A and B are shown apart, each in its own frame.
Chain A
Amino acid sequence: MSADGIIRQPTTGDLAAYAVGKPVSATHIARMAQDVGYLLGQNTQTVIAQCFAYRSSTNRTIKVSYTRNPGVSILLVEAEPHKGSAVVANGTITVTSSAGTIAWASPAAAAAPFNGTVGAFVAHSEDIARRRTWRAYLDVTGLAVGTTYDLNFAWADNSSGKGIAKLTVLECPISSANTVDFPTSDIGMDIGAIHSGLGISTNTTTSARGMARMLAQYDKCRTGNKRQWQVCTSELDADAFQTSSGSYATMMAAHSATNPTWRWRAQRHYTTTGDETMVLGWRYRVSGGATAALQILVDGVATQSTGLTSATYTEVTKALLIPCSGATDQEVTIQIQGRITSGAGTVYLSRARVCSNQS
């Protein structure tokens, strides 16, 4: 991102310009810096989670797994209430983590619970109109970069037992932070600092200029180039995805017996392996003292977590490789299944996530 806060597109370039024995012009370095700024600005993991609470019950807590990317200061949260729900209008949504309470950081002083845009649906009955949605911003500057947290979204349903049907959490592109007055001193490139005729191999990573600075920012781009596939529900057993089957069976269908199939665009990055390295995370519990297993099927190939016995909701993680054959925009399918391997009980799944693990 340049000093004016506007992210510019990647530009066309030609590697021939970097000929052996020829000096590299400031123009070409500036172009690379622009590309790095672009990546820093837009290349966040963006969609962190889509959370669901379609079933009706009492108070909710949804835990969203989040690892803060470099430079990211705010998350955009959108809540869609159940029809007839007054939770957003009258209640409070609180967000906590192991780092403490996370404050709402809406553009104006936050009024409980949300201070985002409220749609006007006056002319539409609720039976046929879209549900209204609320947006608000979370200040996550108190979270350490690179550390994985559980963000606990909690609210109380209203008297009719209605709460929030869908919660979407997005990591905002960096320039979004500018307009809500978050510090940007630790991110960005000042392309104007790269002058023709001046040395560019000097300076440090703490100043917004210089080749070393650009390489440091490029490293941030690589670590920040994450994608996350995450589906959450509350940790009430009645809400969680579940099975008591002795053989692998559907886990993550909201109501049906049909195992949902999702699709995913595999990325290709490294020469050492054609596969995309990911982290697979399950947040689960098992009742009845039973032992359970969970598996993810990627194009039908299973990666399993076995011997799961925790009686309380806890997360287990596992390395996962998404196969890449080398084809551009290769797509894979994903399914989630579970089973009881010994004893009699039920395995409950409140969260499944697949997150990039690049370095």
Chain B
Amino acid sequence: MTVRWNISDRADAAHGLFKSPAASSTSRLTNGKPMDSGAVMRLSSNIAHLCYESCRHLVASPGLGPTAGTYQNAVGLYGPVREIGFYNDAVDALVISGSSGLPWDPRVCESFLAFVAADRQSDAGPPTLRSIRFSIDYTGDATNSSTSIGFAITTHNDPARLRDGDYLAFHGSGALSTGNQIYTQTLSCQLPITPRHHEAHPGRPASYTSGDTMGFPLPVYLWFGWKFVGTGTGNQINGMSAWESRIDPA
């Protein structure tokens, strides 16, 4: 799907930095005075730049650290899929493959609530979420037989209520190195955000029309999951970060 950013031109193509209108320009705001075109251009550029740079930081969390081996051989990844995995065909397949699924077990994942702006335009329909960049600082024990990380975006964190379309994006790392590492990945939601996604949120817009122009932020859950298989005690999650990004995943 082709996506594009709906932003205006910016005067400084390289950086689009703010440029303050001259102080005297405020006098142009009196009755009957025309606006100076230079001031309006500058204003337009500043607004466009602000739109572009309005990516928010969403997660800044300490890790849980190693607590009595709770990360070792996490049962969540190996149990019955519909008991502990996302109820979603695509993800079920990942869980069954044993490499990249994300369980609901709080010992092997953390979820964070955040509002994410839905202003990435899709040619095919309503806009979708901005790309979300996930970063996790972990330490994998050198004796692990498997070390992997998963990221996901869902509309809520209740597996009993998860329906098709609530599951917005997922990334499974595959095999990762042990030792102290930072693993980063950008997730891109490909699903158009529709009124149904706002249903469960009491603060949703009072009305919804012209879906192709709506830019209301959607409350979503950002998931960090990990899978450390082994008997070593050196596994730990040190820190988790996530933020809105203008970068589309490759």
Q: List 27 A-B contacts (CB under 8 A).
A: A9-B121, A10-B119, A12-B6, A15-B41, A18-B41, A35-B48, A45-B56, A47-B115, A121-B158, A124-B84, A124-B159, A128-B84, A128-B103, A131-B106, A170-B114, A173-B217, A175-B206, A201-B35, A227-B56, A231-B62, A254-B63, A256-B238, A258-B180, A259-B238, A262-B60, A264-B241, A271-B18
**Residues in A whose Cβ lies below 8 Å from that of B245:** 265, 329
Query: In the complex, how many residue pairs between chain A and chain B have their CB atoms under 8 Å apart?
Result: 320
Sort chain B's interface into a size bin: 35 or more
Bound CA–CA A218/B40 (angstroms)? 13
Please name the 5 residue pairs, one residue from A and one from B, whose CB atoms are nearest each other, closest first: A255-B65, A176-B203, A260-B239, A13-B8, A119-B158
Q: Spot the interface stretch: A19-27, A61-69, A146-154, A306-314.
A: A19-27
Bound complex: CA of A119 vs CA of B47, how far in Å? Answer: 40
Name the contact of A225 in the complex, choosing from B50, B65, B75, B103 (C-beta under 8 A). Answer: B50
Interface centre among A15, A44, A227, by most B CB within 10 Å? A15
Interface positions, chain B 1-53, Cβ under 8 Å from A, are 6-11, 14-19, 28-35, 37-38, 40-41, 43-51, 53
| Set of chain A residues within 8 Å of B159, measured between Cβ atoms | 124, 129-130
**Contact surface of A with B, Cβ cutoff 8 Å:** 4-15, 18-24, 28-29, 31-32, 35-36, 38-39, 41-47, 50, 52, 54, 74, 76, 78, 83, 106-107, 116-117, 119-124, 128-131, 133, 135, 137, 166, 168, 170, 172-173, 175-180, 199-202, 211-212, 215, 218, 221-222, 225, 227-231, 252-256, 258-265, 267-271, 326, 328-329, 331, 333
Assess A32 versus B44: contact at CB under 8 Å? Given A42-B216, A47-B59: yes
Q: Is the CB of B8 within 8 A of A20?
A: no
Are B64 and A130 in contact, CB atoms less than 8 angstroms apart? no
Question: Shortest distance in angstroms between A349's beta carbon and chain B's nearest beta carbon?
Answer: 11
Q: How far is the CB of A130 from chain B (nearest CB, A)?
A: 4
Q: Which residues of A contact B135 (CB under 8 A)?
A: 262-263
Q: Is the interface of A mostly helix, strand, loop or mixed?
A: loop
Name the one of B15, B105, B117, B200 contacting A42, with C-beta atoms under 8 angstroms.
Answer: B117
| A43 to B170 CA separation, bound complex (whole angstroms) | 26
Is B230 on the interface with A (CB-CB < 8 A)?
no
B62 touches A179 (CB 8 A): no
Q: Which of A13, A175, A326 contacts B205 (CB 8 A)?
A: A175
B58 interface residue (CB < 8 Å to A): yes
Instruction: State whether the Cβ of B104 lies closer than 8 Å to any Cβ in chain A.
Output: yes
Whether A253 lies near B63 (C-beta < 8 A) is: yes
